[in-house]
Amino acid sequence: MRKMDVMTVSGLLIGLILIFVAISLGGSVLGYIDAPSILITIFGSFSALVTSYSLERIKGAVKIAKVAFYVKQTNAPVIIEKFATLSIRARREGLLALEEEKEALNDPFFERGIQMVVDGMEPEVIREIMETEVFYIEDRHAEGQGVFKTWATYAPAFGMMGTLIGLVQMLRDLDDPSKIGPAMAIALLTTFYGVLLANLILLPIAAKLSLNSKAEILEKQIILEGILAIQSGINPRIIEDKLKVFLSPQEREASERAKAQKQEGGVSVNAT
Amino acid sequence: MRKMDVMTVSGLLIGLILIFVAISLGGSVLGYIDAPSILITIFGSFSALVTSYSLERIKGAVKIAKVAFYVKQTNAPVIIEKFATLSIRARREGLLALEEEKEALNDPFFERGIQMVVDGMEPEVIREIMETEVFYIEDRHAEGQGVFKTWATYAPAFGMMGTLIGLVQMLRDLDDPSKIGPAMAIALLTTFYGVLLANLILLPIAAKLSLNSKAEILEKQIILEGILAIQSGINPRIIEDKLKVFLSPQEREASERAKAQKQEGGVSVNAT
Amino acid sequence: MRKMDVMTVSGLLIGLILIFVAISLGGSVLGYIDAPSILITIFGSFSALVTSYSLERIKGAVKIAKVAFYVKQTNAPVIIEKFATLSIRARREGLLALEEEKEALNDPFFERGIQMVVDGMEPEVIREIMETEVFYIEDRHAEGQGVFKTWATYAPAFGMMGTLIGLVQMLRDLDDPSKIGPAMAIALLTTFYGVLLANLILLPIAAKLSLNSKAEILEKQIILEGILAIQSGINPRIIEDKLKVFLSPQEREASERAKAQKQEGGVSVNAT
Amino acid sequence: MRKMDVMTVSGLLIGLILIFVAISLGGSVLGYIDAPSILITIFGSFSALVTSYSLERIKGAVKIAKVAFYVKQTNAPVIIEKFATLSIRARREGLLALEEEKEALNDPFFERGIQMVVDGMEPEVIREIMETEVFYIEDRHAEGQGVFKTWATYAPAFGMMGTLIGLVQMLRDLDDPSKIGPAMAIALLTTFYGVLLANLILLPIAAKLSLNSKAEILEKQIILEGILAIQSGINPRIIEDKLKVFLSPQEREASERAKAQKQEGGVSVNAT
Amino acid sequence: MRKMDVMTVSGLLIGLILIFVAISLGGSVLGYIDAPSILITIFGSFSALVTSYSLERIKGAVKIAKVAFYVKQTNAPVIIEKFATLSIRARREGLLALEEEKEALNDPFFERGIQMVVDGMEPEVIREIMETEVFYIEDRHAEGQGVFKTWATYAPAFGMMGTLIGLVQMLRDLDDPSKIGPAMAIALLTTFYGVLLANLILLPIAAKLSLNSKAEILEKQIILEGILAIQSGINPRIIEDKLKVFLSPQEREASERAKAQKQEGGVSVNAT
């Protein structure tokens, strides 16, 4: 069901390749790999991250980070269409009939919402429960992004520390001028690693997670409004109008077109 | 209908020309063009951007960015005048008469609002639907600006990476002192590109998009308030007063003047 | 009516003189004036500003900026005193009598508010209209400050670009060591100009505009509350109490003193 | 009544002494004092501050800044105890009896609140008036802190300008290499002054003012809630419970202990 | 009851060890320890902190900081389970029966809430009191984090000051070129200390405190909602549903599993 997001992955790869090419144009790439520098920049900043969050939460964040590399399908139009079906059925057969539809939803949040309607809970209670849930989902997403953003601030700082360590070393033995250049070159490597880690990997992942989170929260919002609209018994046409305001003009047009095609198709079938 | 915004374009061009002049005063401009430096700064930061947003969204943002180069006409006074007409007609012939006016509005948001009034929907429902729509329009605008702002943070970072790569290369072969200068000159070019890209192109576009977005949201707000005012049946005079608070004093004066001229004209016609 | 704000102007002048003195202590001031550097820093950052805002808005902002150089008189106590008079008259002769007072107010916002009360509009409608107007006044003020803040971020960036251009030029002809110093001196000038422009001129103007805006919004808030209080017909004493909470303790004391003096005067006149 | 805050003053002094010691370890302190550098950093940034705020406001802020050097006694527990007495008296003798207690409060805000209760004003009006007052007190406090925060951003910027001026001077006469070192040393002094002024003096004062402001606003909040609770006539026990939530656990324990001691004392007296 | 948080401590230790290793790879670690540099960076920034907060508050913050090194157990599922028991008992035996359960709660906030229900206070009053308390708990937590964040901004600033002092010293005696290197090495040490202190110790502690605070506030929020739900007498099933929205999907699953096991266990016992 989940598809690898070619763009995210290739963005990362192309970025790395560009860096690689830029380096190799000027000489050997090997000279840019220095174990102690990697140690201090990557592992140093990571240990500051562990102090900040505990390993468990970081594991959780890394698990979430994988999400950034998969396509987040915009389900919003699908969900709205689903509500069109649900609202018509609810009108014809009553709210209890929705229980049968519940199984096919494949979304625990959606299911729980429908269940609360079937159970006959008060609309204000349903809204309160669902809004609290959406709020805390958003909160947990933000925490996941926070891990990467925090790392992205530690990485250049540890890079700078590495450079300072290297500079101090170099400055203390200025006797052999021929060593100054290479020593300083290595000292600068940690700063390079820190900036690279932050700007090519950590910040883009945080940005992608934030986008995916926003898309998911939008879906939850549509589900919340849709469920309350069905419960209140308003006209299915108005429900659809109400939910479509969440869509972008492009999505709206696409969904109109899809609907028109289906109806045309339906008519031709009838005509046969 | 859309007019190229001479100012935006010329701001950009004059900025580039100034940079060009400043460079050429000191020597050949060619020395400032270096393919690998361009590669790492522009394409490197762009690939981080692709990781952050996916190519599709970036394409969308670029499409929106074109808007920044066109004049965003302030339609606010025109819209308010339109409401003067609409409210008078609604008072005389009833709300249903508005359906005929709908076609001439040329704004799907406006049309949908009028349609809801014609359909006799509850004012709270109309407000809720329209406010949600305005909120998500603003949200999508913000996302478009976000692409440029994010790029503007990656560009100098990749510029700095390029400079670090160049410095490390230079420092490792310090044998030939005559090469130090030119090598370092090239190393600094990427930082120059990054700062230029961010401050002359990306940040100004983001700022312009934000201004255009605010103007559009203001119009939507006026439409929303106007539609609800018409539905509530208040006096057309008060509707106009209510909507004019959205205008700046300059716009207000201009609109008063325009009105006065028209009425004068009207009177003179009557007098003839 | 408007008085030049000696402090604002002299702050700026003294700042410039200090810089001038600091420069001239070390040698000729002429060496600090370099046409291409001025070109790239001031005009370069200005062209980025034009791209961001369009020339029209910048003109508007500059017009507003002049306000920063004039004394913004705190009218708050005067306004509160005016309301004392208005509320007493409204109590004695009815709300319609306020129409006569309207002319003397010299503030279109105040006048429109009184007019709405005279016209017998609902208090909620008046509050809504006036609050919306205050919100958009604040918004336009923020936009004016925004122009200067944005310029203040572009100026040092273009200064840095100028320095980078200069450094690259210098590094490419390292043959003549005697030229290195002067070339680098000129390269640093753009950074100096950028920091100076931002910190001595642009940011202080933005700060001053923000203060003036806050004072004006406070006055509008007092007018809004005062008008609604008069309409609701509460006791003039309570209206004054209600409005005085907007004043600082110093202003409150000053206004108490002024009142006491007046009453004393009044008594002595009566006594004569 | 006000006590010098030993900690604030000694923090500042110890900081200055540490800097002094660090300097004197490496040589003469006199070499770190340079009149033109002080001129440009301190007075230059101050003149930008005058442009931003006008001298009058800065004087006000400096007057407020003195507060940062005095102990801000946490009156919260005392105020809550006061309300215990007031609420019991109000219950026994009626709200009018509070007028006699008013004099002993020593806090104009508290007095005005009690007076409004005595005057029989509506609770919503009292809340509105008092909340507006608290809002504007907080606002004026924020303005005072703002002066120091703004200065703290100008100071390092003017330090940097001074360094740039010095560097340009030095670079233009590179003929005598023996002068390079001392000239650059003096150039760096302004940056040192700017960072010192901002981080040892201005930012700590702004932080301290912010803490004192928060403590004062908390007290006002307690007074506001207490006055409305007394007016509503709820049980004195519940009033105390309601107000104690504003206290930290430590303050709460301390206040419980104090109360227990008093009651014990009271019992023992009765027992004698 | 409290367990040392192995991760937080080992993050810190591993970070320090990595720095140690990186340093010792290049030479003696002793060369990186310089008493005056430590003095100015650590104690200098600490004295600015004392000026900002007063020693008492810093002591309090350090006491809180210890919390960062202990495991913050997520009690949320336990609390929700507790409410399952409480709500069933309240339904069977009335709200007064909750008084007996109070003792076992081990949380003054929880106890006070139950007591207010037992005392028969109005739900709005209970909500107001408990929400105010949660707000001020959060506020005090934020103040504790603030101490570390503020220190983290002073530390690199004092490091920079130390480096500037060292540079000025070095530049003034350029006579002996052999001393330049070591002098500059020592000058850079303070910057190194400042960045290290901020990024390996202070910022991670502030981040950890913020996480712990969020977890505690979440618990308080659950307690608040649970107590009001019990008082309102809703079905224990719905209370559980309502409170579970505060849990992450993982916690929810874990709690479902635990419950299922318990019920199974109960059944098998019955079956024997």
Burial class (CB in 10 A: 0-12, 13-18, 19+), C233: exposed
Rg (CA), chain A: 27
User: How confident is the model over E63-69, as a mean pLDDT?
Assistant: 77
CA–CA min distance B147, chain A (Å) = 10
**Does C111 have pLDDT greater than 50?**
yes
User: How confident is the model over B197-206, as a mean pLDDT?
Assistant: 95
Which residue from E minimizes the CA distance to D209?
Answer: E52
**Does D271 have pLDDT greater than 50?**
no
Determine the pLDDT at residue B111. Answer: 92
Partners of residue B150 in chain A, C-beta under 8 Å: 207
CA–CA min distance E120, chain D (Å) = 11
Q: A3-36: per-residue pLDDT in tens?
A: 667 777 888 899 999 989 888 887 778 888 888 8
Q: What is the distance between the alpha carbons of residues B106 and A209, in angstroms, rounded to a whole number?
A: 37
Q: B66-119: per-residue pLDDT in tens?
A: 777 776 666 888 899 999 889 999 989 988 888 888 878 888 899 999 999 999
Partners of residue E136 in chain D, C-beta under 8 Å: 245-246, 248
**Does A148 have pLDDT greater than 90?**
yes
Higher pLDDT, B74 or E16: E16
**Does B218 have pLDDT greater than 60?**
yes
Contact B87, B236 (CB under 8 A): yes
Q: What is the distance between the alpha carbons of residues B248 and B255, in angstroms, rounded to a whole number?
A: 11
Determine the pLDDT at residue B148. Answer: 95
Q: What is the DSSP string of D50-111?
A: HHHH-HHHHHHHHHHHHHTTB-----HHHHHHHHHHHHHHHHHH-GGGHHHHHGGG--HHHH
Determine the pLDDT at residue A237. Answer: 86
Q: What is the pLDDT confidence band of residue B271, given thresholds at 50, 70 and 90?
A: very low
**Does A270 have pLDDT greater than 60?**
no
Q: What is the pLDDT confidence band of residue A263, given thresholds at 50, 70 and 90?
A: low
Highest mean pLDDT among A78-87, E65-74, E147-156, E169-178: E147-156
Higher pLDDT, B18 or E271: B18
Task: Measure Cα distances from C241 to A84, D97, D107, E56 in Å.
Answer: 57, 22, 17, 40
Determine the pLDDT at residue E268. Answer: 44
To test the contact with chain C by mutation, choose from D51, D55, D174, D184 the residue with the greatest count of C C-beta atoms within 10 A, namely D51
Least confident of B229-243, B249-263, D221-235: B249-263
Determine the pLDDT at residue C272. Answer: 38
Determine the pLDDT at residue E263. Answer: 66
Q: What is the distance between the alpha carbons of residues D111 and D99, in angstroms, rounded to a whole number?
A: 9
Q: What is the distance between the alpha carbons of residues A75 and E244, in angstroms, rounded to a whole number?
A: 26
Q: Determine what percent of chain B is predicted with pLDDT higher than 90.
A: 43
Coil, helix or strand for E4? strand
Partners of residue E196 in chain A, C-beta under 8 Å: 161
**Does B1 have pLDDT greater than 50?**
no
Determine the pLDDT at residue B265. Answer: 56
Please name the member of E48, E129, E167 whose beta carbon is closest to the beta carbon of D11.
E48
**Does E272 have pLDDT greater than 70?**
no
Q: What is the distance between the alpha carbons of residues D143 and D209, in angstroms, rounded to a whole number?
A: 11
Please name the member of E36, E51, E164 whose beta carbon is closest to the beta carbon of D192.
E164
User: How confident is the model over D134-153, as a mean pLDDT?
Assistant: 92
Please name the member of B39, B54, B168 whose beta carbon is closest to the beta carbon of A8.
B54
**Does B44 have pLDDT greater than 90?**
yes
Determine the pLDDT at residue D154. Answer: 97
Q: B107-149: per-residue pLDDT in tens?
A: 889 999 999 999 988 999 899 999 999 999 898 889 889 999 9
Highest mean pLDDT among B54-68, B191-205, C107-121: B191-205
Q: Determine what percent of chain E is predicted with pLDDT higher than 90.
A: 42
Contact D52 C246 (CB under 8 A): no
User: How confident is the model over B190-213, as a mean pLDDT?
Assistant: 94
Please name every residue paired with B4 in a beta bridge, in sequence order, or none if there are none: B70
Highest mean pLDDT among A7-16, D151-160, E178-187: D151-160
Alpha helices (runs of H) in B70-122, residue ranges in sequence order: 76-93, 98-102, 108-118
Q: What is the pLDDT confidence band of residue B3, given thresholds at 50, 70 and 90?
A: low
Q: What is the distance between the alpha carbons of residues E11 and C97, in angstroms, rounded to a whole number?
A: 76
What integer best gives the mean pLDDT of chain D?
A: 86
Determine the pLDDT at residue D130. Answer: 93
Q: Determine what percent of chain D is predicted with pLDDT higher than 70.
A: 93
Cα angle C38, C42, C43; round to 5: 100
Contact A189, A158 (CB under 8 A): no
Residue B164 token pair: 């670090």
Q: A130-146: per-residue pLDDT in tens?
A: 999 999 989 888 988 99
- Any idea how long chain E is? 272
Q: What is the pLDDT confidence band of residue D263, given thresholds at 50, 70 and 90?
A: low
Contact D185 E162 (CB under 8 A): no
User: How confident is the model over C176-205, as a mean pLDDT?
Assistant: 90
Residue E226 token pair: 């649970």
State the chains in contact with C (3 or more Cβ–Cβ pairs under 8 Å): B, D
Contact A7 B140 (CB under 8 A): no
Q: Determine what percent of chain A is predicted with pLDDT higher than 90.
A: 42
To test the contact with chain D by mutation, choose from E53, E59, E168 the residue with the greatest count of D C-beta atoms within 10 A, namely E168
Contact A158, E199 (CB under 8 A): yes
Q: D173-197: per-residue pLDDT in tens?
A: 777 777 788 888 889 999 999 999 9
Which residue from A minimizes the CA distance to E241?
Answer: A129
Contact B48 A199 (CB under 8 A): yes
Q: C235-245: per-residue pLDDT in tens?
A: 888 888 889 88
Q: E204-248: per-residue pLDDT in tens?
A: 999 999 988 998 999 999 999 999 999 998 888 888 888 988 888
**Does E269 have pLDDT greater than 50?**
no
Determine the pLDDT at residue B42. Answer: 94
CA–CA min distance E199, chain A (Å) = 6
**Does A159 have pLDDT greater than 90?**
yes
User: How confident is the model over A201-229, as a mean pLDDT?
Assistant: 92
**Does A178 have pLDDT greater than 80?**
no
Contact D51, C8 (CB under 8 A): yes
Determine the pLDDT at residue B74. Answer: 67
Higher pLDDT, B52 or C252: B52
Task: Measure Cα distances from D98 to D75, D81, D234, D244 in Å.
Answer: 20, 15, 16, 22
User: How confident is the model over C143-169, as a mean pLDDT?
Assistant: 94
Please name the member of D52, D166, D167 whose beta carbon is closest to the beta carbon of C204.
D52
Contact D160 C25 (CB under 8 A): no
Contact E18 A154 (CB under 8 A): no
Q: C208-250: per-residue pLDDT in tens?
A: 999 889 989 999 999 999 999 999 988 888 888 889 888 888 8
Write out the E strands in E40-100.
none
**Does D269 have pLDDT greater than 50?**
no
Q: What is the DSSP string of C28-69?
A: -GGGG--HHHHIIIIIHHHHHHHHHH-HHHHHHHHHHHHHTT
Burial class (CB in 10 A: 0-12, 13-18, 19+), B124: exposed
Q: C193-208: per-residue pLDDT in tens?
A: 999 999 999 999 999 9
Highest mean pLDDT among B113-122, C174-183, E29-38, E63-72: B113-122
Determine the pLDDT at residue E74. Answer: 67
Please name the member of D185, D192, D207 whose beta carbon is closest to the beta carbon of E172.
D185
Partners of residue E140 in chain D, C-beta under 8 Å: 248
Nearest C-alpha neighbor of C225 from the set D179, D129, E57: D129
Cα angle D246, D247, D252; round to 5: 140
Q: What is the distance between the alpha carbons of residues A220 and A218, in angstroms, rounded to a whole number?
A: 5
Determine the pLDDT at residue C267. Answer: 46
Contact A98, A89 (CB under 8 A): yes
Contact E211 A53 (CB under 8 A): yes
Coil, helix or strand for E70? strand
Nearest C-alpha neighbor of C43 from the set B24, B7, B16: B16
Determine the pLDDT at residue A3. Answer: 66
Identity at C34, one-letter amino acid code? D
**Does C261 have pLDDT greater than 90?**
no
Q: E71-122: per-residue pLDDT in tens?
A: 666 688 889 999 988 999 998 998 888 888 887 888 889 999 999 999 988 9
Q: Determine what percent of chain A is predicted with pLDDT higher than 70.
A: 93
Q: D51-88: per-residue pLDDT in tens?
A: 998 888 888 888 877 777 776 666 888 899 899 889 99
**Does C6 have pLDDT greater than 80?**
no
Higher pLDDT, C116 or B104: C116
Coil, helix or strand for A4? strand
Contact E184 A171 (CB under 8 A): yes
Determine the pLDDT at residue D270. Answer: 42
Largest CA distance in chain B: 96
Please name the member of C116, C130, C160 whose beta carbon is closest to the beta carbon of B195.
C160
Determine the pLDDT at residue A146. Answer: 93
Please name the member of B15, B32, B211 whose beta carbon is closest to the beta carbon of C53.
B211
CA–CA min distance C64, chain B (Å) = 13
